[in-house]
Amino acid sequence: MNRVFIKTYGCQMNERDSEAVAAMLRARGYRIVGDENDCDVLLLNTCSVRDAAEQKAIGKAGYAQHRKKKNPDFILGILGCMAQNRGAELLDRLPDVDLIVGTQKFHQVPDYLDNLRAARAAGVPVGASIVDIAEEAGSQNTIRDHLEPDAEATPQVGAFVSIQQGCNMDCAFCIVPKTRGDERSRPMDEIVAECRTLAERGVREITLLGQIVTSYGRRDYVHTNGISPFVQLLERVHAISGIERIRFTSPHPRGFKQDLVEAYGRLPKLCGYVHLPMQSGSNRILRAMNRPYTRERYLEIVNALRAVRSDMYFSTDIIVGFPGETEEDFQQTRELFEAVNYDMAYIFKYSIRTGTPAATLPDQVSEEAKEARNQLLLDLLQKNSLRRNDLLLGTVEEVLVEGPAKNGARFTGRTRGNRVAIFDAHPRLIGSLVPLKIERASVSTLYGELVLSGVAEVA
């Protein structure tokens, strides 16, 4: 009755939330299992950014309800953004769900599971499901626990660290302010202490997470000599011995002031990879989206970053088919997409999210037009990504060895530009930064050979 499987949908914030829930449950005596067929408790940590993500989670929950007919003690829980967005109304469609917990109550999951299990063990008939989607002051400070190292598991080389939750941006298409609440930042000292503990455990790469990560601490800390609180945090994490690489996501273009641009030139641990959401290349559509920048300003940021690091890698988010998007608007997006020369992009067809301003806008774009525009950008991205990877053939890239590849025969790691690499190595190199000569490339993966004498040997 203590075996838990957590299935995570959506973004890296959700992955980090699931890690924290797993760590809290393990500390309470629960076992986190890797196969949902072996669990007594199934928790779905959900996403609401697009309707398709919600429908996937609802479908999974509907299927899982059948397990309760075979095992009345089986517990099914829905956590996260969809729980926050829909709350008790989920029970109309999923009456056998035992637990619905919102984004500010992840830390309550162990107590709620203990109560449900105790009731079943005592033979007490279970009444109404537990639903908790209330706001809670200080909830951003509860996402701090990490899974304890397992002697038999692959060492943890990289870790997500949550620094901020919530969003005050109110983009017209986005449900996040509703599901994650207002912007809230964790104390800087606590974040630095968490990163230091991770470094002592062998973590070499830290990814700082937030809904608008570049807004970190703007109400809690002062700018010092023109340096924003977020860049001050980067400086402090950079100073931690053992941390070799720093990344962050997801930022907002308005957060890329001069201090952050310059940080890429003076903080060598800050990887030359930027996720810079564009959403649209049309100023008219950007205004309709309530995105406070222009295509001209966006390109200024890109050029400023490339002036600091000529080999900077870029990824982005783009929405096609926003209400009112004309063919001319889309062509402006395409032009900017090509001008930036992205290495990776998350391209989405606009999805109506009830409760957002865009949901009631006129001139909704047809599904056929959305699909065509989506596919055109995907084709451009594939060609561009392959071209960029081909430029690396014959070069030597620094790779952080993460562990065995999926097939187990070789090893995997990432370049500073966030490219996945596959190569032969010895397990002792996990957690090491190694030089890799690139010999072959696909759209998404690099293949190569370690160039240090002897380190490519498997035996």
Separation of alpha carbons 326 and 331, rounded Å: 9
- Asked if the model's pLDDT at residue 458 lies above 50, the reply is no
Separation of alpha carbons 306 and 298, rounded Å: 13
Helix axes 188-200, 229-238, angle to 10 degrees: 20
Average confidence score pLDDT of the chain: 92
Domains of the chain from N-terminus onward = 3-132 (3.40.50.12160), 139-390 (3.80.30.20), 396-450 (2.40.50.140)
- Asked if the model's pLDDT at residue 454 lies above 60, the reply is no
Q: Tokens 């037009």, residue?
A: 369
DSSP E strand stretches across 118-239: 130-132, 158-162, 164-165, 184-185, 205-209
Per-residue pLDDT reduced to its tens digit, 386-436: 999 999 999 999 999 999 998 778 999 999 999 999 999 999 999 999 999
User: Of the given ranges (20-24, 40-44, 51-55, 333-337), which has the lowest mean pLDDT?
Assistant: 51-55
Other Cβ atoms closer than 10 A to 190 = 12
Residue 107, C-beta contacts closer than 8 angstroms, at least 6 positions apart: 20, 24, 139, 142
From the list 404, 388, 403, the residue with the least C-alpha distance to 438 is 388
Task: State the sign of the Cα–Cα–Cα–Cα dihedral 80, 83, 86, 90.
Answer: positive
Q: Tokens 């949550």, residue?
A: 162
Tokens for 398, please give them.
């620094």
137, 214, 339, 344, 445 from 211: Cα distances, Å: 17, 9, 27, 19, 28
Residue 94 is predicted with a pLDDT of 92
Per-residue pLDDT reduced to its tens digit, 81-100: 999 999 999 999 999 999 99
Residue 148 is predicted with a pLDDT of 66
The answer to whether the CB of 209 falls within 8 A of the CB of 12 is yes
**Band of pLDDT at residue 459, cut at 50, 70 and 90:** very low
Per-residue pLDDT reduced to its tens digit, 135-179: 888 888 888 888 766 655 667 999 999 999 999 999 999 998 889
The answer to whether the CB of 340 falls within 8 A of the CB of 299 is yes
Separation of alpha carbons 161 and 415, rounded Å: 20
Residue 149 is predicted with a pLDDT of 62
Q: Which residues pair with 347 in a beta bridge?
A: 318
Alpha helices in 239-356 (DSSP H): 258-266, 283-289, 295-308, 327-340
Residue 452 is predicted with a pLDDT of 73
Long-range contacts, 94-100 (Cβ 8 Å, 24+): 94/58, 94/61, 94/62, 94/65, 96/65, 96/68, 97/61, 97/65, 97/129, 98/126, 98/129, 98/130, 99/43, 99/75, 99/129, 99/130, 100/129, 100/130, 100/131, 100/132, 100/133
The answer to pTM > 0.85 is yes
Separation of alpha carbons 357 and 170, rounded Å: 9
